[in-house]
Chains A and B, each alone.
Chain A
Amino acid sequence: VYDGIHDKQNGAANMPTLILGLIVFYAICFALINYIVTKDDK
């Protein structure tokens, strides 16, 4: 369970998890869209 106060105390809240999460999100969407659109390309 997320514990905001505890996470801030141990510095975890300063990890750029937002940016890392967005990188993963964009990579997954990129791969899915590219696959769907180019699936039948010869």
Chain B
Amino acid sequence: MIVGHYAAALIPRSRLRQYPFWLLLLCANIPEFLWLLLALLGIEPASPPSIFDATFKNLKVAMTFSHNLIPGVIQGVVVAALVFAWFRSKPLAYWCGFLTIFHVLSDLVVGFEHQLLAPDSMPVSLNTYGTLPYVAFAIEIAFSVGCIAWYQYQESKQGRGLSTPRLVSLYAVFLIGIAIWVPTTSVSLGQWMQRI
């Protein structure tokens, strides 16, 4: 998943309103931020490295430390421990740890190939970006819409339902944020620019 990961932060938002929402957003995307850092350091490189050459079908990514299953679980435990040390709240710590692990779990369904631990260990993902990218995008959209609907339902129950403009804005960020990547499924940005 790409922007859809942020939608997971909406699931516990209503019951954790006393804590900063940015923390939930951050924890829902910790493995991705770790990968971006490791990619910049050359530890988990992406090939091709240019945004003008990469497509979902030709992109080869190494995500051993950031997205493989066991490293993902370790990240979740570390995140939960850090959040508990900072906020002294078990529910918040559990949710933050869960959101971090859930990121890796959801990428097993909507994402590239990931393994259990080392790069040569058992593959545990469906590699839908490589085999069924449009199905992957559809699942991400459905997940994001479901999370927003759940958030709206929870807020409405407490008399704080989102106004129509806010709801439309929220749906738009996720739908546009996912749809923007669809043209680069098998045709790179550079190839699109050459065609235009």
Q: Which residues of A come within 8 Å of B, CB atoms? A: 1-2, 4, 7, 12-23, 25-26, 29-30, 32-34, 36-39, 41
Contact = CB atoms under 8 A, between A and B. Distances in A.
A22 B181 CA distance: 11
B169 interface: yes
A29 B32 CA distance: 14
A36 B169 contact: yes
A25 to B, nearest CB: 8
Contacts of A39: 166
A18 B48 contact: yes
B173 A19 contact: no
A15 B53 CA distance: 11
Contacts of A12: 50
A20 B41 CA distance: 12
Contacts of B57: none
Nearest to B29: A26
B27 to A, nearest CB: 12
